[in-house]
Amino acid sequence: MLIKDRERLESERRMMLAGITSLIEALEARDPYTRGHSESVGKILIGMAADMGASTKELELLDIAGGLHDLGKIGVPDAILLNPGKLTKKEFDAIKEHPVMGANILAPIETLTDMIPIILHHHERMDGKGYPHGLKGSQNPLWARATAVADTYHAMTSNRSYRQGLSQEIAFQIMQDVRGTQPCPECLDIFLQWINK
């Protein structure tokens, strides 16, 4: 009986992940940048987490969360998401809703509730000036802070329709310059240690 229950749960989990993968593919079809970005953030996050001593279960969670961190962008209109120019305040406010939208999409799926804080808070900052809740310092969960570092680095070093990506060295310098106000210092140190291996 226990084996059948485990098999049923694993089957449900695979079906649920297939459904979410379809959502991500729909988002990626709209915004080609997202595909490589989500995969890269997931890889960076896994590398950092392994260096931080994460358990196998946490690594599995973070692998999925890294790929889903921008899931809420599926609810952002194309005119804003794909805008190659400077966003207006209203457009940027719409982009800032994507963590909440992502968390709301995942909320009904019981087996993914551990990911919600990561998805919801990956744009918070150490100084409390991030979004959506303005969490400060360690109020923001550790894995959300780690995701923010991975997300920031990859976003800065990637080519976008509206700008050329920065070099690794310049990105490192910028991240060091805002250390403690934007990125978590502990997570930034782990990231730099991991990427320089």
Q: Is 26 exposed, middle or buried (0-12, 13-18, 19+ CB in 10 A)?
A: exposed
pLDDT in tens, 147-180: 999 999 999 998 876 678 899 999 999 999 999 9
**pLDDT at residue 21 in the model:** 75
**pLDDT at residue 134 in the model:** 97
pLDDT at 195 over 90: yes
**pLDDT at residue 34 in the model:** 67
C-alpha distances out from residue 124 to 23, 118, 175, 186, Å: 24, 10, 15, 15
pLDDT in tens, 54-102: 999 999 899 889 988 999 998 999 889 888 888 899 999 999 999 999 9
- Interacting residues of 17 by C-beta distance below 8 A, sequence separation 6+: 64
Residue 160 DSSP SS3: strand
What structural domains and CATH numbers belong to the chain? 2-195 (1.10.3210.10)
Whether pTM > 0.85 for this model: the answer is yes
Distance CA 100, CA 195 (A): 30
Distance CA 115, CA 197 (A): 28
How would residue 28 be classed by pLDDT, with cut points 50, 70 and 90? confident
* Number of C-beta neighbours around residue 112 at 10 A: 20
122 or 67: which carries more pLDDT confidence? 122
